[in-house]
Structure 1
Amino acid sequence: MSEAKRIYQANLDAVSAAVVAGDFTKIRQHIAIPNMMSTTDSEIVMASVEEFDIVMMDFRSELLARGMVDYRRTCLEAHFVAGQSDMVAGRHRTEVILRNGATLPPYENHSVIMRIDDRWMGIWLQAIMDNTELQLLSPDIAAAQAEARRMLDRTGHRTA
């Protein structure tokens, strides 16, 4: 296994175990804030610990409501970003195992992790699925941020 893939998988394993355990402090040890997450139909920027915790609690509640007993993410590929020994980009598959032994439909993700203060931290994640399929992103926060972007687009003050 390449060094990039080992680093990426270790981050996936740590965050997955913390999600199952509901240990939001442990999750924050492996995911940087601010953090950007997106699905094919939504995106969210978590700019504070409070916002991050809300998003993670909402996501875990969604998984538990569906019967989650395990949350597994497997690295499919990972590489150091060209010229950046402190940044790894990769792709992984997520599986949610339910109480009855079934699984939710697996989905793929793209993610970037970065070494920050000697720890590998997730800085960006894109789930290749609609947020309506599995609420990865808090609908209320995502909707409020989308509305703010729409307002900026209408007034012409958006710079991106």
Structure 2
Amino acid sequence: MADAKPIYQAFLDETSELMWNQDYATYATRMQYPYRMRTAAKDTFNEVPEDSVACSRAFRENLTAMGAQAFHRICIQAEFETSNRIHGVHTTYILRGATELLPPFRTHLTLHFVDGIWLGGDVVAEIRNADISINAAPVSNVTSIKRAM
């Protein structure tokens, strides 16, 4: 079986660029629905592409408000769970120049190979929503669940 890390990193690079360049509609096509976005404080279920558009737009606007000039995600590990599913872990860096605006944080992401393309799935970010709004946008199916900190 092929090495999962280059596939995972290519997905991160592509979707990071789409989000950073505010191409939210194309970003939404790179996800498999439904999928769950989870932080320590909140779970959000994205049922349709419009949910991803809203969440990625809210996240990008949050980065802009913070003064971010760069957003990078670097694969730490990635492994095939099956021939059509990869589970990976990456570190996210949010920068202004060479200065970190937040401590780098880890995120777990599942990729699914569907109709010849890798699509993103469930996301678990190891950061508090109080530090950055990752899944703060309202979604079509109001199924967000607040978690105890």
Common topology (TM > 0.5)? yes
Within a 5 Å distance, the mapping from 1:59-74 to structure 2 comes to 59-74=59-74
Q: Residues 104-140 of structure 1, C-alpha deviation per residue, up to 9 Å, x if partnerless?
A: 2110011100101111011111001111111101165
Identify which range, 100-109 or 41-50, moves more after superposition.
100-109
> Greater CA radius of gyration, 1 or 2?
1
Task: Indicate the residue corresponding to 1:152 in structure 2.
Answer: none
Matches within 5 A, 1:10-159: 10-81=10-81, 84-98=82-96, 100-103=97-100, 104-138=102-136, 140-141=138-139, 144-146=142-144
Counterpart code for 1:91: V
Shift of 1:25: 2.4
Once the two structures are TM-superposed, the CA of residue 74 in structure 1 deviates from its matched residue by: 0.4
Deviation at 1:3, TM superposition (A): 1.8
Q: 5+ residue gaps in structure 1?
A: 149-160
TM-score (norm 2): 0.87
Write the distance in 2 (CA, Å) between the matches of 1:132 and 1:78: 28
Corresponding letter in the other structure for 1:102: T
Q: Which runs of 4+ in 1 moved over 6 A?
A: none
Q: Which has the higher helix share?
A: 1
> Alignment RMSD, CA only?
1.8
Aligned twin of 1:155: none
* Cα distance change of structure 1 residues 133 and 87 upon mapping to structure 2, 3 Å threshold: same
Question: 1:78: Cα distance to partner?
Answer: 0.5
Amino acid at match of 1:113: L
Number of positions where the alignment pairs a residue of Structure 1 with one of Structure 2: 142
Structure 2: which amino acid aligns with 1:73? R
> Where does the alignment leave 5 or more consecutive residues of structure 2 unmatched?
none
Instruction: Supply the AA of the counterpart residue of 2:111.
Output: I
Partner SS state of residue 32, structure 2: strand
Aligned to 1:7: 7
Give the deviation of 1:4 after TM superposition.
0.4
Specify whether residues 110 and 147 from structure 1 end up closer, same or farther in structure 2 by C-alpha distance, changes over 3 A only: closer
Q: What SS is found at the alignment partner of 1:105?
A: coil
**Counterpart residue identity of residue 124, structure 1:** D
The percentage of counterpart residues that share the same residue type is: 25
CA distance in 2, matches of 1:147, 1:131: 13
Higher relative contact order, structure no. (Cα contacts within 8 Å, ≥ 6 residues apart):
2
